[in-house]
């Protein structure tokens, strides 16, 4: 089968089209014929030897990627919930070896959900790592409640555009940051308030919040402390230094980093919302599989609105 293998750590150029054996499946796995793959910043970071590289560098062949939507072609002996012909989607083995940049993927059945019939494989593939991150941040970690004020940084990006929609569904008052060009998009997602981070300091414009989702990192993380209420939470999906964690604690704020992990139950909760329209994917660019390295360079540009997908 066709796949992209990672042959070095020079970035997207290190991804080489390669013929590899079609995977065999274990008793708890299904074989998925992939129709769409979604790309994330961790994908390009991994191609530079960062991101999830340390978890998978010993694998050979090393097939990166985690986010797929496709059709089940085989089921393992112990799999009861899927059968050949079912359309499924999910984030496979994150942060381990997902092997998603391929025509076929062997996926643990308990990391998949049924693709809603009403949405495309592109929209389903989009709503995997980014949507699970938003879900696990809001529901599992921050336990956001109706009436709370939530600040979502990078609200127009992959994680952010799901986080705004889900926080709104939870009944939160949602403030989203982006540049001015994406203001209308952020409001259309359901944000109550928009802050253009390019026009001054967001911390001068935002009234205190209960929860911050930091999807930007760097100085944005530290500056976000200033807008969190005592007793509130700052969760960064990019990184929190020990110094920042201690400074937060001294102010009665919890600040920590969290890494998403593959979870089929969370994927099913997302599927339910995609099916009834409570949650929508915004795919801003779709390229053919052969152009996967180009798609990754687009993600690396840091300006993605919603998600970037490749199709097979
Ligand atoms: N820890 C985890 O589990 C986890 C999971 C998923 C993602 N991540 C990380 O989280 C980060 C975001 O991921 P993503 O998929 O959402 O990325 P993405 O889709 O590439 O984000 C792109 C968006 O970021 C916005 N942006 C850039 N700088 C900004 C700033 N200073 N303030 C506000 N918005 C800004 C851009 O908006 P403008 O064009 O308007 O600037 C753009 O829409 C990445 O570093 C990724 O690796 C971590």
Q: Whose CA is nearest to atom 26 of ligand 1?
A: 154
Tell me the best of 66, 159, 188, 301 to mutate to test the pocket of ligand 1, counting ligand atoms within 8 Å of each CB and taking the most: 159
> Does residue 77 lie within any of the structural domains?
yes
Read off the pLDDT of residues 120-160 as tens digits, 9 standing for 90 and up.
999 999 999 999 999 999 999 999 999 999 999 999 999 99
Which CATH number characterizes residue 123's domain? 3.90.180.10
202 alpha carbon – ligand 1 mean position (Å): 16
- Please, which pLDDT band fits residue 171 given cuts at 50, 70 and 90? very high
- Nearest C-alpha to atom 24 of ligand 1 is from which residue? 154
Residue nearest to atom 35 of ligand 1 (CA): 154
> What is the phi/psi pair of residue 14, to 5°?
-80, 0
Shared-domain flag, residues 169 and 69: no
28 CB neighbour count, 10 Å cutoff? 15
Please indicate, yes or no, whether residues 200 and 177 belong to a single structural domain of this protein.
Answer: yes
CA distances from 230 to 160, 214, 302 (A): 24, 17, 32
Indicate whether residue 111 lines ligand 1 (CB < 6 A): no
pLDDT of residue 279: 98
Query: Does any ligand 1 atom lie closer than 6 A to the CB of residue 75?
Result: no
Same structural domain for residues 6 and 113? yes
Query: Residue 242 is encoded by which pair of tokens?
Result: 């020990």
Based on the structure, what is the number of domains in the chain? Answer: 2
Q: How far is the CA of 161 from the centre of ligand 1 (A)?
A: 10
Q: Give me the pLDDT at residue 161, please.
A: 99
Residues 80 and 188 in one domain: no
Task: Find out whether the beta carbon of 299 lies less than 6 Å from any atom of ligand 1.
Answer: yes
Of 47, 38, 41, the C-alpha closest to 9 is 47
The mean pLDDT value for 104-116 works out to 98
Residue 148: predicted pLDDT? 98
Domain hosting 191: range is 130-257
Position 34 scores a pLDDT of 99
**pLDDT at residue 122, as a whole number:** 98
How many Å apart are CA 266 and CA 280, to the nearest integer? 16
> Which residue puts its alpha carbon closest to atom 48 of ligand 1?
237
Structural domain includes residue 270 = no
Q: Does one domain contain both 188 and 251?
A: yes
Nearest-CA neighbor of 165 among 129, 139, 191, 143?
191
pLDDT, one tens digit per residue, over 36-69 is 999 999 999 999 999 999 999 999 999 999 999 9
Regarding whether 289 and 223 lie in a shared domain, the answer is: no
Residues 202-230 have pLDDT tens digits of 999 999 999 999 999 999 999 999 999 99
CATH code for the domain in which residue 143 is found: 3.40.50.720
Ligand 1 binding pocket includes 304 (Cβ within 6 Å): yes
Whether 198 and 93 map to the same domain: the answer is: no
d(CA 37, CA 43): 11
pLDDT tens digit sequence for 227-284? 999 999 999 999 999 999 999 999 999 999 999 999 999 999 999 999 999 999 999 9
Same structural domain for residues 106 and 151?
Answer: no
Q: What is the mean pLDDT of residues 165-185?
A: 98
Distance CA 234, CA 240 (A): 9
């Amino acid at each position: 089968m066709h796949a992209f293998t990672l042959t070095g750590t020079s970035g997207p150029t290190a991804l080489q089209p390669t013929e590899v054996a079609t995977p065999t499946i274990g008793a708890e796995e299904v074989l998925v014929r992939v129709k769409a793959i979604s790309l994330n910043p961790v994908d390009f970071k991994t191609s530079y030897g960062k991101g999830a590289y340390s978890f998978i560098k010993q694998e050979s062949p090393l097939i990166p990627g985690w986010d797929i939507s496709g059709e089940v072609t085989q089921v393992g002996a112990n799999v009861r919930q899927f059968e050949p012909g079912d359309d499924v989607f999910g984030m496979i083995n994150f942060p381990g070896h997902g092997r998603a940049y391929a025509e076929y993927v062997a996926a643990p059945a308990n990391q998949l959900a049924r693709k809603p019939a009403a949405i495309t494989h592109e929209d389903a593939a989009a709503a995997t790592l980014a949507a699970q991150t938003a879900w696990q941040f809001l529901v599992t970690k921050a336990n956001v409640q109706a009436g709370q004020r939530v600040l979502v940084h990078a609200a127009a990006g992959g994680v952010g555009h799901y986080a705004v929609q889900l926080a709104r569904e939870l009944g939160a008052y949602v403030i989203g940051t982006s540049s001015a060009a994406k203001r209308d998009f952020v409001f259309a997602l359901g944000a109550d308030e928009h802050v253009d981070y390019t026009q001054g300091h967001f911390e001068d414009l935002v009234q205190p919040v209960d929860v911050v989702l930091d999807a930007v990192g760097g100085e944005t993380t530290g500056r976000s402390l200033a807008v969190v209420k005592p007793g509130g939470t700052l969760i960064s999906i990019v990184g929190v230094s020990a110094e920042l964690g201690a400074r937060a604690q001294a102010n009665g704020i919890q600040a920590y980093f969290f890494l998403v992990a593959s979870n089929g139950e969370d994927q099913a909760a997302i599927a339910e919302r995609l099916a009834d329209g409570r949650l929508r994917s915004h795919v801003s660019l779709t390229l053919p599989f052969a152009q996967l390295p180009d798609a990754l360079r687009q993600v690396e540009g840091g300006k993605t609105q919603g998600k970037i997908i490749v199709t097979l």
